[in-house]
Amino acid sequence: MAKFDKIAVLSKMGSTGMVPVFYHKDATVAKEVVKACYEGGVRAFEFTNRGDFAHEVFAEVVKFAARECPDMAMGVGTVVDPGTAALYIQLGANFVVGPLYNPEIAKICNRRLIPYIPGCGSVSEVGAAQEAGCDVCKIFPGDVLGPKLVKGMLAPMPWSKLMVTGGVEPTQQNLTTWIKAGVYCVGMGSKLFPKEVIESGDFVIISAKCEEALEYIAEARK
């Protein structure tokens, strides 16, 4: 069962403005990354469902986060079918993210009052997802669609809460551009977790990157 309710999860995403996106087959490494992000101010974390037995790693990380990062909402990403969504919800996922929109996933998540954040690439997709109860929609891939799509979409649909993933970097210029375009929050993966940093185990760098990125977001919102 999810540790946080839907309102709390959406609030965490919106208040911080950033959701790290990460996967590693080693649960120990994943735990260290989650802890580092938490210490950097992150309060919502997306573990991507990409490798074999990823759900087993997630199960370990969720239990760890409950102990060591009590205010962290752990969610799952790269979910494309309802069966996978149900599996992760049983393991304690607080939210479900996908690269595409699948209305059957919305039904699974709505039944448990868990946020479903589907990947959308057009006004029509966002509209369809909103009709199915998706409070936040993911604009993906962000590096292809760009900030102009976000700004243009919000003009006729100002109530929309949009999270952009893909093409997001922990730099002041990049984050300011997305925030000024009107995104609710950003999802950030590889740019926040350089391969060499993960391999070296110098997780303090990740904490610092998160803290710096959150400061840029807060500044851009003023």
Indicate whether 20 belongs to any domain. Answer: yes
Indicate whether 204 belongs to any domain. Answer: yes
Q: Is 107 helix (H, G, I), strand (E, B) or coil?
A: helix
Domain span at 190: 6-221
Cα separation, 3 vs 54, in Å, equals: 20
* pLDDT score, position 1: 86
For the chain, the domain total comes to 1
Indicate whether 1 belongs to any domain. Answer: no
Angle between helices 204-221 and 27-39 (to 10 degrees): 40
Its pTM stands at 0.97
Q: What is the CATH number of the domain that holds 18?
A: 3.20.20.70
Cα separation, 95 vs 88, in Å, equals: 9
* pLDDT score, position 85: 98
Indicate whether 93 belongs to any domain. Answer: yes
Decide: 108 and 133 in contact? Cβ < 8 Å. Answer: no
* pLDDT score, position 51: 87
* pLDDT score, position 160: 98
**pLDDT profile of the chain (222 residues), mean per 10:** 96 98 97 98 98 96 98 98 98 98 98 98 97 98 96 98 96 98 97 95 97 98 96
- Provide the terminal-to-terminal Cα distance of the chain, rounded to the nearest Å: 36
Decide: 137 and 115 in contact? Cβ < 8 Å. Answer: no
Of 126, 130, 179, the C-alpha closest to 153 is 126
Kindly report the backbone phi and psi dihedral angles of residue 172, in degrees, each rounded to the nearest multiple of 5, phi listed first: -65, -45
Indicate whether 108 belongs to any domain. Answer: yes
Decide: 17 and 185 in contact? Cβ < 8 Å. Answer: yes
